[in-house]
Protein backbone atom coordinates (compact mmCIF):
# COMPACT_ATOMS: atom_id res chain seq x y z
CA UNK A 1 0.00 0.00 0.00
CA UNK A 2 1.07 3.57 -0.63
CA UNK A 3 2.43 5.75 2.13
CA UNK A 4 0.10 8.63 3.00
CA UNK A 5 2.60 10.25 5.33
CA UNK A 6 1.54 13.84 5.99
CA UNK A 7 -1.52 13.78 3.76
CA UNK A 8 -4.77 15.09 5.22
CA UNK A 9 -7.74 12.73 4.89
CA UNK A 10 -11.26 13.91 5.73
CA UNK A 11 -13.62 11.03 6.54
CA UNK A 12 -17.35 11.56 7.04
CA UNK A 13 -19.40 9.14 9.12
CA UNK A 14 -16.16 8.44 10.99
CA UNK A 15 -18.05 7.28 14.08
CA UNK A 16 -19.56 4.30 12.23
CA UNK A 17 -18.16 0.88 11.41
CA UNK A 18 -16.81 1.72 7.96
CA UNK A 19 -15.68 5.19 8.98
CA UNK A 20 -13.69 3.83 11.92
CA UNK A 21 -12.09 1.12 9.76
CA UNK A 22 -11.17 3.72 7.14
CA UNK A 23 -9.69 6.04 9.75
CA UNK A 24 -7.57 3.26 11.24
CA UNK A 25 -6.24 2.16 7.85
CA UNK A 26 -5.29 5.65 6.68
CA UNK A 27 -3.84 6.43 10.10
CA UNK A 28 -1.56 3.40 9.92
CA UNK A 29 -0.36 4.70 6.55
CA UNK A 30 0.75 7.96 8.13
CA UNK A 31 -2.19 10.16 7.17
CA UNK A 32 -3.39 13.04 9.31
CA UNK A 33 -7.09 12.54 9.95
CA UNK A 34 -10.01 14.95 10.03
CA UNK A 35 -13.00 12.98 11.29
CA UNK A 36 -16.58 14.20 10.80
CA UNK A 37 -19.66 12.72 12.45
CA UNK A 38 -22.80 14.09 14.04
CA UNK A 39 -22.22 11.74 17.00
CA UNK A 40 -19.50 13.35 19.11
CA UNK A 41 -19.29 10.44 21.55
CA UNK A 42 -18.68 7.98 18.72
CA UNK A 43 -15.91 10.21 17.39
CA UNK A 44 -14.23 10.24 20.79
CA UNK A 45 -14.22 6.42 20.85
CA UNK A 46 -12.76 6.21 17.35
CA UNK A 47 -9.95 8.64 18.17
CA UNK A 48 -9.18 6.78 21.42
CA UNK A 49 -8.85 3.50 19.51
CA UNK A 50 -6.36 4.89 16.98
CA UNK A 51 -2.64 4.21 17.45
CA UNK A 52 -0.98 6.90 19.56
CA UNK A 53 1.21 8.05 16.68
CA UNK A 54 -1.78 8.99 14.51
CA UNK A 55 -2.57 12.69 14.30
CA UNK A 56 -6.36 12.99 14.32
CA UNK A 57 -8.86 15.76 14.95
CA UNK A 58 -12.57 15.14 15.40
CA UNK A 59 -15.33 17.55 14.35
CA UNK A 60 -18.97 17.12 15.36
CA UNK A 61 -20.70 18.18 12.13
CA UNK A 62 -24.27 17.85 10.92
CA UNK A 63 -23.68 16.97 7.27
CA UNK A 64 -27.22 18.05 6.36
CA UNK A 65 -26.56 21.62 7.48
CA UNK A 66 -24.60 23.37 4.69
CA UNK A 67 -23.36 26.10 7.01
CA UNK A 68 -22.10 23.55 9.51
CA UNK A 69 -20.28 21.70 6.73
CA UNK A 70 -18.58 24.88 5.52
CA UNK A 71 -17.62 25.74 9.09
CA UNK A 72 -16.23 22.22 9.59
CA UNK A 73 -14.18 22.30 6.39
CA UNK A 74 -12.84 25.74 7.34
CA UNK A 75 -11.86 24.31 10.72
CA UNK A 76 -9.99 21.46 9.02
CA UNK A 77 -8.15 23.94 6.83
CA UNK A 78 -7.23 26.02 9.86
CA UNK A 79 -5.93 22.93 11.65
CA UNK A 80 -4.14 21.14 8.81
CA UNK A 81 -3.78 23.67 6.00
CA UNK A 82 -5.12 21.39 3.26
CA UNK A 83 -7.33 18.41 2.40
CA UNK A 84 -5.83 15.76 0.14
CA UNK A 85 -8.52 13.08 0.35
CA UNK A 86 -12.26 13.27 1.00
CA UNK A 87 -13.89 9.95 1.85
CA UNK A 88 -17.68 10.38 1.91
CA UNK A 89 -18.55 7.35 4.05
CA UNK A 90 -21.62 8.69 5.88
CA UNK A 91 -25.01 7.31 4.88
CA UNK A 92 -28.01 5.39 6.09
CA UNK A 93 -30.44 2.64 5.09
CA UNK A 94 -34.00 1.68 5.85
CA UNK A 95 -36.56 -0.53 4.19
CA UNK A 96 -39.96 0.96 3.53
CA UNK A 97 -43.40 0.42 2.07
CA UNK A 98 -44.14 0.36 -1.66
CA UNK A 99 -43.26 3.63 -3.31
CA UNK A 100 -46.86 4.77 -3.63
CA UNK A 101 -47.20 4.45 0.16
CA UNK A 102 -43.91 6.18 0.95
CA UNK A 103 -44.24 9.37 2.97
CA UNK A 104 -42.17 12.52 2.47
CA UNK A 105 -40.17 11.97 5.64
CA UNK A 106 -38.86 8.57 4.49
CA UNK A 107 -38.09 9.90 1.02
CA UNK A 108 -36.28 12.97 2.36
CA UNK A 109 -34.35 11.01 4.97
CA UNK A 110 -32.82 8.58 2.47
CA UNK A 111 -31.91 11.33 0.00
CA UNK A 112 -30.54 13.55 2.75
CA UNK A 113 -28.36 10.92 4.42
CA UNK A 114 -27.03 9.35 1.24
CA UNK A 115 -26.98 12.08 -1.42
CA UNK A 116 -27.34 15.54 0.06
CA UNK A 117 -24.53 14.86 2.54
CA UNK A 118 -22.19 13.95 -0.34
CA UNK A 119 -23.18 17.08 -2.26
CA UNK A 120 -22.58 19.33 0.75
CA UNK A 121 -19.10 17.91 1.40
CA UNK A 122 -17.98 17.93 -2.22
CA UNK A 123 -19.18 21.50 -2.68
CA UNK A 124 -17.30 22.65 0.41
CA UNK A 125 -14.05 20.75 -0.19
CA UNK A 126 -13.58 21.12 -3.95
CA UNK A 127 -12.57 24.82 -3.88
CA UNK A 128 -9.68 23.91 -1.58
CA UNK A 129 -8.61 21.03 -3.83
CA UNK A 130 -8.84 23.29 -6.89
CA UNK A 131 -6.62 25.80 -5.12
CA UNK A 132 -4.13 23.03 -4.35
CA UNK A 133 -4.34 21.60 -7.87
CA UNK A 134 -4.82 18.09 -6.53
CA UNK A 135 -7.18 15.86 -4.59
CA UNK A 136 -8.99 12.57 -4.36
CA UNK A 137 -12.69 12.13 -3.60
CA UNK A 138 -14.18 8.71 -2.86
CA UNK A 139 -17.94 8.44 -2.41
CA UNK A 140 -19.76 5.40 -1.07
CA UNK A 141 -22.77 4.45 -3.17
CA UNK A 142 -24.20 0.91 -3.06
CA UNK A 143 -24.93 -2.13 -5.17
CA UNK A 144 -28.58 -1.07 -4.86
CA UNK A 145 -27.79 1.94 -7.07
CA UNK A 146 -27.79 -0.30 -10.14
CA UNK A 147 -31.38 -1.55 -9.99
CA UNK A 148 -34.54 -0.70 -8.10
CA UNK A 149 -35.64 -3.09 -5.38
CA UNK A 150 -39.07 -3.51 -3.81
CA UNK A 151 -39.34 -1.60 -0.55
CA UNK A 152 -36.07 0.27 -1.23
CA UNK A 153 -37.11 2.97 -3.70
CA UNK A 154 -35.82 6.03 -1.80
CA UNK A 155 -32.54 4.32 -0.90
CA UNK A 156 -31.93 3.05 -4.44
CA UNK A 157 -32.72 6.47 -5.91
CA UNK A 158 -30.35 8.21 -3.50
CA UNK A 159 -27.48 5.81 -4.13
CA UNK A 160 -28.02 6.04 -7.89
CA UNK A 161 -27.75 9.79 -7.46
CA UNK A 162 -24.35 9.32 -5.81
CA UNK A 163 -23.11 7.51 -8.92
CA UNK A 164 -24.32 10.28 -11.23
CA UNK A 165 -22.92 12.99 -8.95
CA UNK A 166 -19.57 11.16 -8.94
CA UNK A 167 -19.51 10.96 -12.73
CA UNK A 168 -20.37 14.66 -13.00
CA UNK A 169 -17.66 15.74 -10.57
CA UNK A 170 -15.12 13.53 -12.33
CA UNK A 171 -15.96 15.06 -15.72
CA UNK A 172 -15.77 18.58 -14.33
CA UNK A 173 -12.43 18.08 -12.58
CA UNK A 174 -10.47 15.54 -14.62
CA UNK A 175 -8.12 18.27 -15.91
CA UNK A 176 -7.70 19.83 -12.47
CA UNK A 177 -5.68 17.08 -10.81
CA UNK A 178 -8.73 15.83 -8.91
CA UNK A 179 -9.99 12.26 -9.23
CA UNK A 180 -13.53 11.38 -8.14
CA UNK A 181 -14.74 7.80 -7.83
CA UNK A 182 -17.36 5.82 -5.93
CA UNK A 183 -17.82 2.34 -4.52
CA UNK A 184 -20.76 -0.02 -4.89
CA UNK A 185 -20.56 -2.22 -1.80
CA UNK A 186 -22.81 -5.15 -1.14
CA UNK A 187 -24.00 -5.88 2.40
CA UNK A 188 -21.44 -4.81 5.00
CA UNK A 189 -20.60 -7.27 7.75
CA UNK A 190 -21.45 -5.12 10.76
CA UNK A 191 -22.98 -6.00 14.13
CA UNK A 192 -26.08 -4.03 13.17
CA UNK A 193 -26.57 -5.94 9.90
CA UNK A 194 -25.97 -9.27 11.60
CA UNK A 195 -28.62 -8.44 14.18
CA UNK A 196 -31.08 -7.38 11.48
CA UNK A 197 -30.40 -10.44 9.28
CA UNK A 198 -29.36 -13.25 11.64
CA UNK A 199 -30.15 -16.06 9.20
CA UNK A 200 -27.97 -14.77 6.35
CA UNK A 201 -24.53 -16.12 5.40
CA UNK A 202 -22.48 -13.43 7.11
CA UNK A 203 -19.16 -14.77 5.86
CA UNK A 204 -20.13 -13.80 2.31
CA UNK A 205 -20.63 -10.13 3.23
CA UNK A 206 -18.08 -7.32 2.89
CA UNK A 207 -16.00 -6.60 6.01
CA UNK A 208 -15.61 -2.85 6.60
CA UNK A 209 -11.83 -3.26 6.67
CA UNK A 210 -11.91 -4.76 3.16
CA UNK A 211 -13.96 -1.86 1.81
CA UNK A 212 -11.60 0.58 3.53
CA UNK A 213 -8.72 -0.97 1.58
CA UNK A 214 -10.47 -0.14 -1.69
CA UNK A 215 -10.98 3.45 -0.50
CA UNK A 216 -7.25 3.58 0.31
CA UNK A 217 -6.38 2.31 -3.17
CA UNK A 218 -8.54 4.93 -4.88
CA UNK A 219 -6.82 7.63 -2.84
CA UNK A 220 -3.36 6.36 -3.75
CA UNK A 221 -1.09 7.17 -6.71
CA UNK A 222 -1.79 3.67 -8.03
CA UNK A 223 -5.30 4.90 -8.96
CA UNK A 224 -4.10 8.09 -10.65
CA UNK A 225 -5.67 7.03 -13.97
CA UNK A 226 -9.03 6.07 -12.41
CA UNK A 227 -11.73 8.72 -12.27
CA UNK A 228 -15.50 8.62 -12.73
CA UNK A 229 -15.62 4.92 -11.86
CA UNK A 230 -18.26 3.05 -9.87
CA UNK A 231 -16.42 0.04 -8.47
CA UNK A 232 -18.33 -3.06 -7.34
CA UNK A 233 -17.28 -4.49 -3.97
CA UNK A 234 -19.89 -7.21 -3.50
CA UNK A 235 -18.11 -9.78 -1.34
CA UNK A 236 -19.25 -13.28 -2.30
CA UNK A 237 -22.99 -12.68 -2.40
pLDDT of 78: 98
Cα separation, 182 vs 170, whole angstroms? 10
User: What is the tens place of the pLDDT at every residue in 131-146?
Assistant: 999 999 999 999 999 9
Average pLDDT, integer, range 99-119 = 96
Is 155 a known active-site residue?
yes
CA atoms within 13 A on the CB side of 140: 30
CATH superfamily ID and name for 8-233:
NAD(P)-binding Rossmann-like Domain (3.40.50.720)
Catalytic residue among 86, 155, 156, 179: 155
Q: How confident is the model at residue 197 (pLDDT cuts 50, 70, 90)?
A: confident
**pTM across the whole model:** 0.95
Residue-level length of the chain: 237
Task: Identify the three-state secondary structure at position 141.
Answer: coil
Structural domain boundaries in the chain:
8-233
pLDDT of 1: 44
**Closest C-alpha to 233, from 210, 201, 199, 216:** 210
Are residues 159 and 141 in contact, defined by beta-carbon separation less than 8 angstroms?
A: yes
User: Euclidean distance between the first and final Cα of the chain, in Å?
Assistant: 26
User: What is the tens place of the pLDDT at every residue in 43-75?
Assistant: 999 999 999 999 999 999 999 999 999 999 999
Strands, DSSP E only, in 61-218? 85-88, 135-140, 178-185
**Closest C-alpha to 32, from 17, 16, 11, 63:** 11
Amino acid sequence: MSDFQGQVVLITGAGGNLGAATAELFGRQGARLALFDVNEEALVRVVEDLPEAVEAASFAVDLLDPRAVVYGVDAVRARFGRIDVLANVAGGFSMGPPLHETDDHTWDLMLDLNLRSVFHLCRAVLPLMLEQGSGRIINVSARAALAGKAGMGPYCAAKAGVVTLTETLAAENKHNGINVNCLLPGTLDTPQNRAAMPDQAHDTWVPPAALAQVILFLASPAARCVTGAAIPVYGRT
